[in-house]
Chain A
Amino acid sequence: MEKNETKILILDNLSIGYAKGKHSAELLPPLSTSSNGSELIAVIGRNGIGKSTLLRTIAGLQPSLGGEVILNGKNISEYSRIVLARKIGYISTEVIKVNNMRVSDLVALGRFPHTNWLGTIDNSGRLAIENAIARAGLTSLRARNISELSDGERQKAMIARVLAQDAELMIMDEPTAFLDIASKYEIISLMRELTRDGKTIIFSTHDFNIAVNQADKIWLILENNLIEGAPEDLMLSGAFEHLFESSIVQFSSGDGNFSFLRESRGSIFVRGEGLIRKWTERALIREGYQLSSSITNPYIHITDDTDQKWLLTSDDKTESFNSIYELIRVLQK
């Protein structure tokens, strides 16, 4: 019990899904987990398993079918809508389409649960808005219309809105969907920084690499239960292998990578050094070769000669190549 008091969020036998008339369609067996706060939690699981429903239920946007969501020691259904909004912020994949709404207007809407009946923003509110805009790195874009923002900028504006809302728990449904790689990492690094400032962020993602490399904790949702832990803990326990049971893809807990289950092309030996060797081996693995530690026929020799870097020796014949691409093309034949 004493331990629970330090937890900001507890899911206790939480049953999620949609009630259809008298029947309720539960998506998953009851889930139990918790968060200690100030951490970045990634929710992963296969498509359609109920990640969005879980996030909406935690945010109080959808009633649970059973069990409890306990925030700061109190069931969220005991909070009024407005008080809950001061504690939980929510961002979904829904895009807001409003002309004539500037970034600062959008962020100002985050003050909704703190303002009077007319929505008048006082000085402390104005300060909160400006801080949120600055924190999200949007100061130069504050007067821009939101319809003119790029996907990444819009996501930052949405995060700034939640920051202005001043909620310690932020729920984000696929915050990096639709983003290019640079914006993806910008958003994730912003999210990480915010958790270091004391926010707790729970986000869902399909991007396994981001979840494993950036999250403090992973909630892995499987058909029959929820497994939680640091990404590395889950690697060690082999939990991810259940997630990716498939006949064509194999997940390796050794390096946290995926590989296709292909027909083996036999083993091959590579002689060489450093980065160039590493990427040559990657290409060979992609082609279905296993790496050998003793000499094979054929085998590859990486030289220092700039004109013929790769030498492929098979049956005493040696061919030379200038790029991995050319080398692989020949091996494919």
Chain B
Amino acid sequence: MKSEVLATVPEEIRLRRNKSLIFLVLFILLIFFFILDIVLGSVSIRPADIFRAFFERTDSEIETIIFKFRLPKALTALAAGIALSLSGLQMQTLFRNPMAGPYVLGVSSGASLGVALVILGFSAQFVPGSFPRLGNWVLVVSAWLGAGAVMMLIMFLSSKIRDIMTILIIGIMLASGISAIVSIMQYFSNETMLKAYVIWTMGSLGNLSAGQLQVLLLTVAAGMILSLASVKMLNALLLGENYAVSIGLNLRLSRIVIFTCTSILAGSVTAFCGPIGFIGIAVPHITRNLFRTSDHRILVPGTIIAGGVVMLISDIISQLPGSVNILPVNSVTSLIGIPVVLWIILRNKRDTGSF
């Protein structure tokens, strides 16, 4: 028996080495695009300026641009990419649906509704930035609750309906329904509230205050730590709920952990950056195909890095290097994500496999 075990070891080592190499390349790409994201923009900055800005305090104009605008924006892109991709991965495994993601299932819309309720329903006082600390937390918590409510609704429906496409259509209906509710709320709200809300909906990666960035980074970090606790659960859930329970999974606990995690991740990003589509669906699939595995011990860290890379690339494209114009980042992510989604649909027609 022992010799048989040893015979398989070289193959295992080769696969593991392959995976380490992919991790290394992804990580280098992450650093490269992070620096590139800071370097490129309407004012050109040399990479050397970045290092100088960090090590010698010169109070130059370039230093202001780096610390006040470029660095926060790059950090926001990184956090948003990580959060959306990770929540997408968790949803896809939890719902056993390759098309799941915070945007398509209406979870981002749920977060928007939470924000709309706070801004339009209660007071314009909670407009981002107006209440330096508390306001941001109220905003983000309401987004979590909105996202969590939609998650629970989808979970309930998934237990009744097995068909992937039906769930997807329901997600789209939910998103439409929520935007209708928000429209009605806008109709009845006063001018200040409306203005505050419209500004929020146009939110992008670059409009976060220092306080907001701090809240975003904190919550995304919390979500990442929680996602590590979900790794083993997600692996079991690949087998479907029946088998997962039969190998010893505590289904209720795992749902609570994964729900909390995705709601925090998707909710926080939506609260500060507005709805950003397709990253959540696309990145987990890119990661699965890169690593050729279904093991979440690799997929979770892989998705974290790949999500950061894809979002940084989207941000670089959105600021149209060399011009003063900035595209909405949501349209860039859609253009990147939609081909991936189409590919999944076409592949699903051929294959029986769901991931």
A residues within 8 Å of B by Cβ? 59, 61, 81-82, 84-86, 88-90, 92, 94, 96-101, 105, 109-110, 112-113, 115, 117-120, 126-127, 130-131, 134, 139, 142-143, 147, 165
- The CA-CA distance from A97 to B243 in the complex, in Å, is 13
Pick the residue among A86, A88, A109, A134 that contacts B239 (CB under 8 A).
A109
- The CA-CA distance from A117 to B296 in the complex, in Å, is 13
B residues within 8 Å of A by Cβ? 1, 4-5, 8, 11, 228-229, 231-232, 235-236, 238-240, 242-243, 245-250, 288-289, 292-295, 297, 351-355
Whether A130 contacts B294 by the Cβ 8 Å rule is: no
**Among the interface residues A115, A118, A134, which one has the most CB atoms of the partner chain B within 10 A?**
A118
Whether A112 contacts B353 by the Cβ 8 Å rule is: no
Chain A residues, CB < 8 A from B235: 109, 112, 119
What distance in Å separates the Cβ of A163 from its nearest Cβ neighbour in chain B?
13
- The CA-CA distance from A207 to B4 in the complex, in Å, is 36
Chain B residues, CB < 8 A from A89: 246-247
Whether B1 contacts A118 by the Cβ 8 Å rule is: no
Whether B236 contacts A109 by the Cβ 8 Å rule is: yes
Given A98-B354, A112-B232, A134 and B249 contact (CB-CB distance below 8 Å): no
Given A109-B236, A119-B232, A81 and B5 contact (CB-CB distance below 8 Å): no
Whether B353 contacts A97 by the Cβ 8 Å rule is: yes
- The CA-CA distance from A175 to B14 in the complex, in Å, is 35
What distance in Å separates the Cβ of B111 from its nearest Cβ neighbour in chain A?
29
Given A82-B248, A90-B246, A92-B242, A130 and B232 contact (CB-CB distance below 8 Å): no
Q: Which residue of B lies closest to A84 (CB)?
A: B248
Whether B231 contacts A119 by the Cβ 8 Å rule is: yes
Chain A residues, CB < 8 A from B297: 118-120
Whether B246 contacts A99 by the Cβ 8 Å rule is: no
Whether B293 contacts A100 by the Cβ 8 Å rule is: yes
Whether A105 contacts B295 by the Cβ 8 Å rule is: yes
Task: Pick 25 A–B contacts, CB within 8 A, sort by A.
Answer: A59-B246, A81-B248, A85-B248, A88-B246, A90-B242, A92-B242, A94-B243, A96-B238, A96-B239, A99-B288, A99-B351, A99-B354, A100-B294, A105-B295, A109-B238, A109-B239, A109-B247, A112-B247, A112-B248, A112-B249, A113-B248, A118-B232, A119-B232, A127-B1, A147-B353
Chain A residues, CB < 8 A from B229: 117
- The CA-CA distance from A118 to B231 in the complex, in Å, is 6
Q: Which residue of A lies closest to B232 (CB)?
A: A119
Whether A85 contacts B246 by the Cβ 8 Å rule is: yes
What distance in Å separates the Cβ of B92 from its nearest Cβ neighbour in chain A?
11
Whether A81 contacts B231 by the Cβ 8 Å rule is: no
- The CA-CA distance from A31 to B238 in the complex, in Å, is 34
Whether A115 contacts B232 by the Cβ 8 Å rule is: yes
Chain A residues, CB < 8 A from B295: 105
Extra A-B contacts (18), CB below 8 Å, given A89-B246, A100-B294, A127-B1 = A61-B242, A61-B245, A81-B248, A81-B249, A88-B246, A92-B242, A97-B353, A97-B354, A100-B289, A100-B293, A101-B238, A109-B236, A109-B238, A112-B236, A120-B297, A127-B5, A130-B5, A147-B351
Whether A131 contacts B1 by the Cβ 8 Å rule is: yes
Whether B353 contacts A98 by the Cβ 8 Å rule is: yes
Pick the residue among A81, A96, A131 that contacts B250 (CB under 8 A).
A81
Whether B355 contacts A98 by the Cβ 8 Å rule is: yes
Q: Which residue of B lies closest to A89 (CB)?
A: B246
Whether A96 contacts B240 by the Cβ 8 Å rule is: yes
- The CA-CA distance from A156 to B125 in the complex, in Å, is 63
Chain B residues, CB < 8 A from A130: 1, 4-5, 8
- The CA-CA distance from A90 to B245 in the complex, in Å, is 10
Chain B residues, CB < 8 A from A100: 288-289, 292-294, 355
- The CA-CA distance from A28 to B142 in the complex, in Å, is 49
- The CA-CA distance from A90 to B239 in the complex, in Å, is 12
Whether B1 contacts A86 by the Cβ 8 Å rule is: no
Chain B residues, CB < 8 A from A59: 246
Closest 6 CB pairs between A and B?
A: A85-B248, A113-B248, A90-B246, A119-B232, A99-B353, A101-B294
- The CA-CA distance from A96 to B246 in the complex, in Å, is 14
- The CA-CA distance from A110 to B229 in the complex, in Å, is 19
- The CA-CA distance from A313 to B28 in the complex, in Å, is 92
What distance in Å separates the Cβ of A157 from its nearest Cβ neighbour in chain B?
12
Q: Which residue of A lies closest to B15 (CB)?
A: A143
- The CA-CA distance from A84 to B245 in the complex, in Å, is 10
Chain A residues, CB < 8 A from B232: 112, 115, 117-119
Pick the residue among B246, B294, B351, B352 that contacts A61 (CB under 8 A).
B246
- The CA-CA distance from A227 to B157 in the complex, in Å, is 41
Chain B residues, CB < 8 A from A99: 288, 294, 351, 353-355
Whether B248 contacts A105 by the Cβ 8 Å rule is: no
- The CA-CA distance from A106 to B311 in the complex, in Å, is 32
Chain B residues, CB < 8 A from A109: 235-236, 238-239, 247
Whether A81 contacts B352 by the Cβ 8 Å rule is: no
- The CA-CA distance from A119 to B231 in the complex, in Å, is 8
- The CA-CA distance from A97 to B246 in the complex, in Å, is 17
Chain A residues, CB < 8 A from B247: 85, 89, 109-110, 112-113, 165
Chain B residues, CB < 8 A from A97: 352-355
Q: Which residue of B lies closest to A85 (CB)?
A: B248
**Among the interface residues B235, B248, B293, B355, which one has the most CB atoms of the partner chain A within 10 A?**
B248
